[in-house]
Structure 1
């Protein structure tokens, strides 16, 4: 029924307000309000969901030059299947969901799905990652459906370079989406920049300078070797420390204290800035020891680590009349098999051959 099996009849949960040794509870007796904890005492509270592997851009670091075969509609998890997984995950302690892709806004009927997602009891935080191309058209409806926090991918502030990186002349539409989101009061708004040496490193100061006057979080993400050798070029890799060196003319970066539900970014603030600068450093500064997330791919596979090819096939079980208890057991097994860390390095060590559009950016 699944590509992964487990002999764990029990799993570890930790009382939300009780420190000390891990308690053991049976699957059927899981009380809401406890947090599922993996074998390395990491509390798992965050699920990222790729709604589709389809996208309206063709970014050079994401899409192979020879192209990709996209999933057929029947291969995607149906909305009702995703909702079922989320309900069960929330019953196990998941509090936060992020919708990603591909580009989630290209999937039909996404707004009614988000409304249904927002009605799940216990789910306190629903966020969206988008490339921004369709954001201006959908921002108001997204807000009404229950989205309040946005991540917007934007690797350059120059329209011609945007066209070169993405293959589409859509910078003006993305900027209009960012502007619309600001006007509507989305908060926080995070701009995600994949850092590429020799491609957009001459704009890092321009991005960071925006935080002096705008309440944005500018997040620099290290280029990662995902999707096979055709997408990876170690000559384009620049570490977060290298990015920080380039930002020194703007002043000292003061650390900002992280909150419990925050993601892996290390956050800083420039002197007098109203916004902040973040660094996501999966290669140079592993954050595996505090990883709190699972990923549900667009084809229904559950991954406990972005940079590991280990997956659990939930789609097969969902379509084979598996009970809620069986699906919950598979989610628990994935968490208990969550690796301590990854082995990816800037020299290409380790392996992650999954397509980023299916895994979820």
Structure 2
């Protein structure tokens, strides 16, 4: 039995905004038209039978609401996993979209980096649409709604303002620092759970132990040609090799722990 806290699904890589600190915008990853298929994902879940227990699935992109089969994907995930979380920039949230999300999703994370200043607009764009989306989300029946603030030296003085906004409108609040930001108020955990307690599948349907290990050396398989036994063998070997070292964690792993 494999017990996984979180399965991270990067369901597509296309987006409608251009965040300056995005892995795609910085050229660390390459955008493509590839996307995760609901059919392939269902085969992946069914291949494990009762040998896989996943507590939560986190869907991200790109912008996930641009995925043409987003409802089918959510419906598939809901069949196998008790908790479903989505990450969105909030600009495409509408009454119709939220009604659909209410059927499948337990938790929504929306990125917001400033309220009154121009920082969010400069770093991401479509600030007003994000705020409009949050207004709609606020009134939804989705149980958990979280504002996620990406913090850098450029907006660290606005943390209290965004936190106050979140509290006023009944959102939970999280901060994710970027590499050039240092603060004693945000502490890195002293253990890594991602390697043994997560699986990551990217928009090209490639399976890895976690987001920061997307190289050929750590490839666990392919969603479109999935082999259960090969996956188990590769995962066991990679964990045994990496766990004592954790080079990725020591360097810069913040958000997936």
User: What TM-score does the superposition give when structure 2 sets the normalisation length?
Assistant: 0.81
**Cα distance in structure 2, aligned partners of 1:328 and 1:142:** 34
Judged with a 3 Å threshold, the aligned counterparts in structure 2 of structure 1 residues 151 and 66 are, in CA distance, closer, same or farther, namely closer
Who is 2:147 aligned against?
191
Pair 1:351–1:173, CA change in 2 (3 A): closer
Q: Distance in 2 between matches of 1:124 and 1:165?
A: 34
Q: Say which of 220, 223, 228 aligns to 1:327.
A: 228
Name which of 280, 296, 301 aligns with 2:206: 301
Please name the residue that 2:39 is paired with.
Answer: 80
Aligned to 1:30: none
Distance 1:203 1:104 in 2: 27
CA displacement, residues 91-134 of structure 1 (integer Å, 9 cap, x when unaligned)? 311231111111111111211321233233xx211111111111
Q: Is 1:132 paired with 2:132? A: no
**C-alpha distance in structure 2 between counterparts of 1:289 and 1:68, whole Å:** 23
Structure 2 match to 1:312: 219
CA distance in 1, matches of 2:156, 2:252: 26
1:54 matched to 2:14: yes
1:96 is paired with a residue whose SS is: strand
How big is the shift at 1:211? Answer: 5.0
Change (3 A) 1:336 1:219: farther
Are 1:222 and 2:181 counterparts?
A: no
1:288/1:295 CA distance change after superposition, 3 Å: same
Give the 4+ runs in structure 1 shifted more than 4 A: 65-69, 349-352
Q: Any unmatched runs of 5+ in structure 1? A: 1-12, 14-35, 37-42, 225-235, 245-278, 353-359
Contact 2:13 2:31 survives alignment (8 Å): yes
Cα distance in 1 for partners of 2:78, 2:91 equals 24
Give the 5 Å matches for 1:159-308: 160-166=118-124, 168=125, 170-197=126-153, 199-224=154-179, 236-239=180-183, 241=184, 244=185, 281=187, 284-289=188-193, 292-308=197-213
Larger radius of gyration: 1
Taking the aligned partners of 1:67 and 1:285, their CA distance within structure 2 comes to 25
Q: Kindly indicate whether the alpha-carbon contact (under 8 Å) linking 1:54 and 1:106 is maintained by their aligned counterparts in 2.
A: yes
**From 64, 78, 94, the counterpart of 1:104:** 64
CA distance in structure 1 between the aligned counterparts of 2:29 and 2:213, rounded to whole angstroms: 20
- Alpha-carbon offset, residue 193 of structure 1: 1.2
Q: Figure out how many residues of one structure are paired with residues of the other and give that number.
A: 245
Asked if 1 retains the 8 angstrom alpha-carbon contact of 2:38 and 2:72, the reply is no
Measure the CA separation in 2 of the matches of 1:143 and 1:336: 40
Change in CA separation of 1:285 and 1:69 when aligned onto 2, cut-off 3 Å = closer
Pick closer, same or farther for the CA change 1:336–1:207 going to 2, 3 Å. farther
8 Å CA contact retained: 1:55, 1:101: yes
**Correspondence 1:21-40 to 2 at 5 A:** 36=2
1:71 aligns with 2:27: no
- Map of 2:246 onto structure 1: 342
1:209 Cα deviation (Å)? 2.4
